[in-house]
């Protein structure tokens, strides 16, 4: 994986923030007080308690037998962990209590808005990304393993405490990753069913092809990684206590709908057509969506282009959404 060093956290380059390949940035947040708190009296736990406000967070609890690998049960009807809402301070207590255990339960708090559970934390620990209007979240736990999944936004993840191993694969590896259900997911995103630490190649033989293109990096406190939109990523926390802060943003206006909605509609309306009709629709999707450019509607007068005008503005998007809803409700 490509690596950068000596990047100024106050002026992150556009080449990094718009990269289409993953990039590791060594030492990006090493000066954060939260990173340095490991050397202070009471350590990171005491530092985090300074900001804790009694907020409740969504936590995952798994038995020691899953060895930190959160996922499905055997028949995919449920999961191998339980979800609970707990106070942030209580989760810190639980992590601290099990930190020295040889076989601790799997403990994890994911994708929690920092300003909600630790108000004031970002006043001391933050990056200059306000122009991107990112969502800043924290991820807390012990030796948790998060199954490979995709995220729609771009993602800059900063390791604060502990070490993490990131395994990234390009978006087009989807056919080799054996993705689980689309509508029954661990946390909103479909995930790979493959155990990256112990892959069953008899059950998942094509995963061997995916591994040939995998990019792997191990990050320590103060390091960061940029993960472009839609790259598959498997994340493994390697120490008994881990904290990560990440920033998410989209390179698209807020009025754009999620592409997942288009995928679900296409499954419903296109996938089961006869082959010849699917081929015809593939041509239309290529022409109007995937290969669309300045010449797609150039033969039409500007006033007649309507939804073919690119890019769509907020008013046009709202009108198109209403039209789609009317068609769905017929």
- pLDDT at position 41 is 77
Question: What are the pLDDT digits (tens) for 181-224?
Answer: 999 999 999 999 999 999 999 999 999 999 999 999 999 999 99
Is residue 291 over pLDDT 80? yes
pTM of the predicted model, to two decimals?
0.94
Q: What is the pLDDT of residues 143-176, one digit of tens each?
A: 999 999 999 999 999 999 999 999 999 999 999 9
Q: In the prediction, which pLDDT does 42 show?
A: 81
Is a pLDDT exceeding 90 seen at residue 78? yes
At 276 the three-state DSSP class reads: helix
pLDDT of residue 235: 97
Averaged over 306-315, what is the pLDDT? 89
pLDDT recorded at residue 80: 97
The string of pLDDT tens digits covering residues 26-45 is 999 999 999 999 888 789 99
Task: Tell me which of 46-55, 271-280, 318-327 is least confident.
Answer: 318-327
Q: Which of 327 and 227 is assigned the larger pLDDT?
A: 227
Domains recognised in the chain with CATH numbers: 2-249 (2.60.120.10), 259-328 (no CATH)
Average pLDDT in the 89-98 region?
96
> Cα–Cα–Cα angle for 295, 298, 301, nearest 5°?
170
Mean pLDDT to the nearest integer, 256-271? 93
Q: How far apart are CA 28 and CA 32, in angstroms?
A: 9
Contacts of 59 (CB under 8 A, 6+ apart): 83, 84, 85, 86, 91, 107, 108, 109
Question: pLDDT above 90 covers what percent of the chain?
Answer: 89
């Amino acid at each position: 994986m490509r690596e950068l060093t000596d990047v100024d956290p106050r002026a992150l380059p556009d080449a990094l923030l718009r990269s289409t390949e993953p990039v590791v940035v060594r030492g990006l947040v090493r000066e954060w007080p939260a990173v340095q708190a490991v050397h202070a009296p009471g350590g990171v736990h005491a530092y985090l308690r300074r900001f804790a406000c009694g907020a409740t967070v969504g936590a995952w609890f798994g038995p020691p037998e899953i060895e930190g690998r959160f996922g499905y049960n055997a028949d995919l009807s449920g999961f191998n962990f339980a979800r609970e809402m707990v106070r942030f301070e209580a989760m810190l207590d639980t992590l601290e209590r099990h930190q020295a255990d040889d076989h601790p339960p799997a403990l994890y708090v994911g994708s929690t808005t920092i300003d909600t559970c630790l108000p004031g934390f970002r006043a001391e620990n933050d990056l200059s990304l306000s122009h991107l209007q990112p969502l800043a979240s924290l991820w807390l736990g012990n030796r948790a393993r998060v199954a490979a999944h995709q995220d729609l936004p771009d993602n800059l993840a900063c390791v604060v405490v502990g070490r993490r191993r990131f395994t990234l694969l390009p978006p087009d590896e989807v056919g080799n990753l054996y993705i689980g259900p689309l509508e029954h997911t661990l946390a909103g995103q479909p995930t790979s069913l493959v155990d990256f630490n112990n892959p069953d190649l008899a059950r998942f033989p094509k995963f061997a092809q995916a591994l040939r293109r995998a990019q792997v990096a191990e990050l320590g406190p103060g390091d960061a990684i940029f993960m472009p939109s839609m790259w598959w990523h498997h994340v493994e926390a390697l120490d008994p206590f881990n904290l990560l802060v990440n920033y998410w943003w989209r390179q698209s206006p807020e009025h754009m709908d999620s592409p997942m909605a288009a995928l679900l509609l296409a499954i419903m309306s296109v996938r089961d057509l006869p082959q010849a009709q699917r081929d015809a629709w593939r041509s239309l999707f290529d022409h109007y969506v995937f290969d669309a450019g300045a010449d797609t509607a150039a033969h039409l007068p500007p006033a007649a282009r309507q939804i073919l005008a690119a890019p769509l503005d907020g008013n046009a998007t709202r009108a198109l959404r209403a039209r789609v809803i009317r068609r769905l409700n017929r």
